[in-house]
Chain A
Amino acid sequence: MLKILKYSFYDLMRSRWSYVYFLFYLLLGVVLLFLNNDLSKAVITLMNVIIILVPLIGTIFGVMYYYNSREFTELLLAQPVKRSSIFLGQYFGVATSLSMSLVIGLGMPFVFYGIFNSSAIWDFSLLLITGAFLTFIFTALAFVIALRNENKIKGFGYAILLWLFMAVIYDGIFLMSLLYFEDYPLDKFSLVATMLNPVDLSRVLILLKLDISALLGYTGAVFQKFFGTNFGLILSSALLALWVLVPTFFIWRIAKKKDF
């Protein structure tokens, strides 16, 4: 598995897209930090990028990579290699290279900006860690979709739909249900609903570091009390990890049975 991971990783490292992706983050970080004189706005933009763009790119890239490397996969399958290590190797290769582009691309401008000397280092690392988690989650989901669908168009369609659902539609349904059941106590429900969607969960984790004043209001206190504690943080990380593990397990299971 490690060999295939290494191969996929180096393959991607050499590919143009990784550079484009890396340069995009580098440019974004530089522009936000050095050409924009207020940091507060920069961090909010960064958060939007991480919770919207990172999942989108993870999904698209994952699906694309799987379909593109299909011939190579078939070649590998003819060799005496375990199936699970082929697919898991590819998956980890893609996800690792994507998150590396993200972490290094965004990290470098911040290091030059002097993040190590400021107290914001923890907030910033939280931002990068959630970004990396989201990459892993959505690449895994993309692999599951791609493995399930032979038809490329269908696969892409489902992948986009998945992203749309997680990033937009889910919140719409969430909001509607909150408004519809407004007469009931909703603290627990909203906590659970937030934890179930990785995009929402990352958003809230980052928000607690940013819009702290608004969230410390009347109901925000409930969330602050939950996510602000070590227990909340550990539980959120565990859930994000679970979001990585479950699709990975599906990749492993589907790969084992799939006909080529």
Chain B
Amino acid sequence: MKKSLQIFISLFLVFCTAQGFAKTITVCNSCSAKTIQEGIAQALDGDTVLVKKGIYKEVNIIIDKSIILLGENLPTIDGEDKGEIIKITADNVTVDGFKIINVGTSYTSDYAAIRVIKRNGFLIQNLQLEKLFFGIYLEKSNNGKVLNNTIMGDAVNEYNSGNGIQLWYCKGVEVRGNKVQNVRDGIYLEFSDNIKISHNLSKNNLRYGLHFMFSNNNIYEYNTFENNGAGVAVMFSKFVEMNHNVFKENWGTAAFGLLLKEINDAKITNNVFKENTVGINIEGSNRIDYKNNDFISNGWAIKVRGACYTNNFENNNFLYNSFDISYNSNLNDNKFSHNFWSNYTGYDLDKNGIGDVPYRPVKLFSYIVNRTPETIILLRSLFIDIIDFSEKVSPVFTPDNLVDENPKMKTINHDRS
């Protein structure tokens, strides 16, 4: 009896603090709190600060209590280019439904529209950021969520522009459903582990759509990276999973769909690489599974730069790429099997759906272009076709064990719904 009473009382207390005593403070032009800063000053842990529609010209709003900062009908916070706008320095803070514009640009400090410093359990959602330097900047913060934000930058030069969503020494963060455009790096991660990034759209960014370094055990799913200055770059990371992403139209002199550098033990499955200058550029990456991907109309579907061992390419479609695979040496330790190659010219006498003649995806010409890039001008010349054919018959320059022994005869149908 005594024990159950105790439980009842403690439950009642919890209930009261969470619901009963939590009050709502309204901020508007005619309210008692006229600015967001005043509203926050009046609030206690667990309160909601409701901001009505209007324009609030404020900078350096510091949220140091566990509150919910809620915008009604998308109120605008205008920083007037003076500096950082919102800084979160408490656990369990929610910021929801604002339009934040005019973040100050600085060459000495990274002003952000919203910054979280060393905190847990934040939720940042439904924000619209425009005219920004850095967008959402998470610093040593864990277990939070960044959902459904729209970030629309106006970056022109790399040196004076910031990143859309930046994670630095973070753990267990979910980034979902955001749209990031026209900033330097769409989504940037450094030293961040166990992050899940899904259903984002990152396009027209100056440098990379997604960029991460030293970030392990992360999952990237159902994202679209389109027309970024240099595509997506992932470096120095382990146990990364990239599934169901779309990399397209990353064109330019230094553009890749996906650049892998020193990536080990990763899984790259069910992605679509379409119309990139280079689909995947691989350097020093080992033990990666490439499965069920589509490479469509890229200049180079896969460019292997060396020091890549025990990679596995299975069940991929290679359709109408100018070059399927390019190698810069004649050593090979990677496996290709059961892929469909649109350039395959073999036959299938036993009708088992697998070509009877092995396919050599590396052409002599791709080797030549690697050595002397200017020779690209001879692409699809009759002479090149002739030397490619003779190399196919007796490989000298290209790795002779680099073959797909079981090329598929028909396009593999990946369910992309």
Decide whether A and B assemble into one complex. Answer: yes
Known: A203-B381, A217-B278. 6 other contacts (CB 8 A): A168-B386, A175-B384, A179-B371, A203-B380, A204-B377, A215-B376
Interface residue tally for chain B (C-beta within 8 Å): 34
**A178 with B277, Cβ < 8 A, contacts A48-B380, A214-B322, A216-B299 known:** no
Q: How far is the CA of A51 from the CA of B277 in the complex (A)?
A: 25
Q: How far is the CA of A187 from the CA of B253 in the complex (A)?
A: 14
Q: How far is the CA of A186 from the CA of B375 in the complex (A)?
A: 9
Asked whether any CB of chain A lies closer than 8 Å to the CB of B252, the reply is: yes
B interface residue numbers (CB < 8 A to A): 251-255, 275-278, 297-300, 319-320, 322-323, 342, 368, 371-384, 386
A212-232 vs B: 1/0 string, CB under 8 Å?
111111111101000000000
| Main SS at interface, chain A | helix
A188-216 vs B: 1/0 string, CB under 8 Å?
01100010000010011001000111111
Nearest 8 CB-CB pairings of A with B: A214-B299, A214-B322, A171-B383, A213-B299, A186-B374, A219-B373, A182-B372, A171-B381
A44-79, CB < 8 A from B: 44, 47-48, 51-52
Interface residue tally for chain A (C-beta within 8 Å): 39
Neighbouring B residues of A220 by C-beta, 8 Å:
299, 376
Neighbouring B residues of A187 by C-beta, 8 Å:
374
B372 and A179 within 8 A (CB): yes
Question: How far in angstroms is the closest Cβ of chain B from A70?
Answer: 32
B372 and A186 within 8 A (CB): yes
A223 and B277 within 8 A (CB): no
**A213 with B381, Cβ < 8 A, contacts A186-B372, A220-B376 known:** no
Q: How far is the CA of A222 from the CA of B278 in the complex (A)?
A: 17
A interface residue numbers (CB < 8 A to B): 38, 40-41, 44, 47-48, 51-52, 167-169, 171-172, 174-175, 178-179, 182, 186-187, 189-190, 194, 200, 203-204, 207, 211-221, 223
> Out of A40, A179, A194, which one reaches B377, CB within 8 Å?
A194
Q: How far is the CA of A178 from the CA of B371 in the complex (A)?
A: 10
Which one of B278, B322, B374 has the highest number of Cβ atoms from chain A below 10 Å of its Cβ?
B374
Question: How far in angstroms is the closest Cβ of chain A from B132?
Answer: 30
Q: How far is the CA of A221 from the CA of B277 in the complex (A)?
A: 11
**A41 with B373, Cβ < 8 A, contacts A171-B383, A214-B322, A216-B299 known:** no
Question: How far in angstroms is the closest Cβ of chain B from A216?
Answer: 5
Neighbouring B residues of A215 by C-beta, 8 Å:
299, 376, 379
> Out of A40, A178, A221, which one reaches B372, CB within 8 Å?
A178
Q: How far is the CA of A228 from the CA of B300 in the complex (A)?
A: 21
Q: Smallest CB-CB separation from B252: which chain A residue?
A: A216
B382 and A171 within 8 A (CB): yes
Neighbouring B residues of A212 by C-beta, 8 Å:
251
Task: Show 6 A/B contacts (Cβ-Cβ < 8 Å), sorted by A.
Answer: A175-B375, A207-B380, A213-B277, A216-B251, A217-B277, A218-B254
